[in-house]
Chains A and B, each alone.
Chain A
Amino acid sequence: MLELRTASTVFAHTHTCLWRNAIGIISPRYVSIQVIAAKETGTQAPVKRIENCSFLYTRHLNMYFVALTRSNVNPALVFEYLFQKIRILKAYLGEEFDENSMRNNMTLIYELMDETMDFGYPQNCAVDVLRLYINLGSIRQQDEPDASQLTSQITGAIDWRREGIRHKRNEVYIDVLESVNLLMSSTGDILRNEVTAQVQMNTKLTGMPECKFGLNDKLVIEQESNQNRKPGVEIDDCTFHRCVRLGKFDADRTITFIPPDGEFELMRYRVTDNINLPFRIIPAVREMQDQNR
């Protein structure tokens, strides 16, 4: 993989840093002409093939993050990595990091490249874990972890949470954020109506707690023999944070996980049936021709 960044004035400034580059050096200038200059005019797809090599790129402010590959990889994986990379850099360098702050933190960026990517395979991208052993930039180390513990932490199955977290008060905040979409015709017919939602969590829990989360999911409530319950909601298209055990969810729709410490998005879902519209709007619009004027 190769990371390349340029200022938006493409030709004036092209800067590359090659990192374990198995592809060979393709002129960065050529890339900027083919990929970035074309992007400036709009309409270009975020994947471009030049000389048998795929360029996948995304943008942060006026910087391009470009991944290169010669093999037939899953583009979603590559983009996820690029987005994670930008998220990590935001955590280290601030939300609005730019070319200058990247240049001033070159060593940090090399270290982060080293940890998040090995031989073209994405590795650990969890900021909370990275901050344990890379503590340059605005992220400072909170407490010194044990070196032996560190290895098992990074290579272990649960890389989003470290051992030995302590909180005086054990608290969990859950936010259910729903967004209603509605399109109603002028005659009052509903043309489109759905709810998309996120469940945000902020956990302050000690140790490695096992959590079980339950919504009034129709499928779960039907399983329970208890008849006098209110019927549940049909929940579609659930997607989860990677801490959730998907096997368990597929088997019996229970949501179990060991949460990361702090804020994270536990899940997203969509509901399309039986939506309670918060507002009803009844418009009457008349266009008139007034003769008196």
Chain B
Amino acid sequence: MTDSQLAFNRVSINLKIIAQFAQSLFATHVVVKIPVPKNTAKTKIKTSFGRAKYEPEQQAIVWRVKRFPGKSECILGADIDLMPTVRNKAWARPPINVEFQVPMFTASGVNVRFLRVFDKSGYTTSRWVRYITKAGGYQVRI
């Protein structure tokens, strides 16, 4: 058996993503980057919502969901055909990276209890509080 015969020539990826925040909220700008091997030839991707496509320059399947409602879940299935390569190096399997923004949600559970303003003249102050949670490095190894 030669090296090239040992090599994998297909990868199948199934991914489930579950929004765990309240139903009344939604996430925006959700981008899931699923890395694929360098020698990817063809991809077949199905998603339950959002748009996903293989972006060779990123070496990843990039799945974008503009508006992700709370307490919902979403599935992606991808079949990847690989090109045969001369050198048969194992795929490093970099982690899946997720970006998102969730307005009016704090992952830490922190909220503003009060802001009191005292001034000699004793005016009243109106105040507005906004919360937003973003993904810093949000990674899942595969």
Contact = CB atoms under 8 A, between A and B. Distances in A.
B119 A286 contact: no
Contact of A282 (B15, B32, B100, B120): B15
Q: Is the interface of A mostly helix, strand, loop or mixed?
A: strand
Contacts of B137: 181-183
A289 B7 contact: yes
Contact of A283 (B13, B129, B131, B136): B13
A210 B128 CA distance: 18
A123 interface: no
Nearest to A195: B108
A30 B31 CA distance: 49
Contacts of B114: 212-214
A184 interface: yes
A290 B9 contact: yes
Interface string A106-132: 000000000000000000000000000
Contacts of A275: 107-109
B15 A211 contact: no
Interface stretch (A1-9, A36-44, A140-148, A169-177): A169-177
Contacts of A287: 8, 10-11, 91
B124 A170 contact: yes
> In the complex, which range does the number of interface residues on chain B fall in?
35 or more
A152 B4 CA distance: 80
A174 B130 contact: yes
A134 interface: no
Given A180-B138, A196-B136, A280-B20, 15 more contacts: A174-B129, A175-B130, A176-B106, A176-B131, A178-B133, A183-B140, A208-B119, A210-B119, A215-B113, A216-B109, A235-B110, A278-B102, A279-B100, A283-B16, A287-B8
Given A196-B136, A283-B14, A172 B117 contact: yes
Interface in A185-209: 185-186, 195-197, 205-209
Given A174-B129, A207-B119, A214-B113, A280 B17 contact: yes
